[in-house]
Chain A
Amino acid sequence: MTEANTKQITLRVQRYNPEQDSSPYLQEFIVPVSRGTTVLDGLLYIKENMDSSLAFRTSCRMGICGSCGMLINNYPHLACHTQIEEFHTDTLTIKPLPNLAIIKDLVPDLATLFDNHKAIKPYIIHHDTEEMETPSAEFTQTSQTLDSFLQFTYCIKCGICISACPTSASDKLFLGPQALAQCYRYCSDSRDGGESERFPVVDTDHGVWHCHLAGACSEACPKGLDPALAIQLLKRRLVSHSLGLSKKQSPSPIVPPPTESNPKVPFPEFTVKGS
């Protein structure tokens, strides 16, 4: 990094220690920035060189773990996935994700997110308990079925959708777009038979019917998921189930083992023979 390519940026970082401070306040740090510097790089620079007491979460630094979600210039982003240059400004304001309690500085309390996620039973529920306990083979699933819910499997549980959601802002008991989208993800999985266990969790006064369809979750999601779509599709499943219009499909069976009469297709011979 040459000095000619480096410029100084002011990061206004929200500080708050519940044990010492009565309310959050902003602290300014001037950090050197060059092409490609992310907001997380800026925060790491502060922690390593200016104030080691600054608290924030980080792990993978490549948008996979979902640890570094924060409010950057009043919009939720992953700090590792956001370059400072994108903002075309000399001052950035960094705050913790809204709609969640603050543990310290930029660290939000994600306990509610994980509690709601656990409540919808985010795993395959299959009536064949013996196969679930000691699996002998895979459950069958077509690639078309997988495609129908694949995008929702990419959720990294960063909490950005919840911080962008206007319903989560006003209703503290709302399940949130993350849990509702994951409920749809598992209910729409052909290997799953757990609708009857998940529907009572989302069909409450603070469940799926309180989504206003603002679409803020889909716009903010750093992984490009569309939780608003999942919630609408979940509503359709609930109504179909309630009216008795849903197709009664049992979870897919396991892949049958190969038999003598149905041998595996032999590997094709090489068409180009070596000399």
Chain B
Amino acid sequence: MRNTRLWFLQLVTGALIAILLGIHMVMMHLDTILGFFGIDAVEMHSWESMIDRAGQGIWASLYIALLAFVLYHALNGLRNIILELAPSVRTERIITRTIMVFGIVVFIWGAYVPIALLAS
């Protein structure tokens, strides 16, 4: 039932991305609307503001989770597309392993800053 679980995770991560990306988009790009509701979200794009958020547990967790979900969703989707064109089991194995290694490397790279800031 491996493929069923992978597909179900694809479904779950898709729904979670919609929620987390929604939060991200509202905070980063809808500051005028947030201001209308009395939330002061100015200077969200500044370096200091970004580093400050990355050092807070809740924001760091949110962004690390978003990174993990996006990487899984995108790379599993990419793997499915490539596998449809793969002519042999050996090629499939190479593709799967390459994509897994790529995903892990990108995740460590992306999650390094918030984890380092949290640790400091």
Residues of A within 8 A of B (CB): 167, 170-172, 174, 199, 203-210, 235, 238-239, 241-243
Contact = CB atoms under 8 A, between A and B. Distances in A.
The 3 A-B residue pairs with the shortest CB-CB distance in the complex, in nearest-first order: A171-B84, A242-B4, A242-B1
A98 to B, nearest CB: 17
A238 B3 CA distance: 10
A241 B83 contact: no
Main secondary structure of the interface of A (DSSP, over half): helix
Interface string B78-111: 0010011101000010000000000000000000
Contacts, number: 41
Contacts of B87: 172
Main secondary structure of the interface of B (DSSP, over half): helix
Contact of B4 (A172, A203, A206): A203
Contact of B84 (A167, A199, A203, A208): A167
B1 A205 contact: no
Nearest to B83: A205
B7 A209 contact: yes
B42 to A, nearest CB: 45
Given A205-B92, A210-B80, A171 B5 contact: no
Contacts of B4: 203, 209, 238-239, 241-242
Nearest to A172: B87
Given A203-B1, A203-B3, A209-B3, A239 B84 contact: no
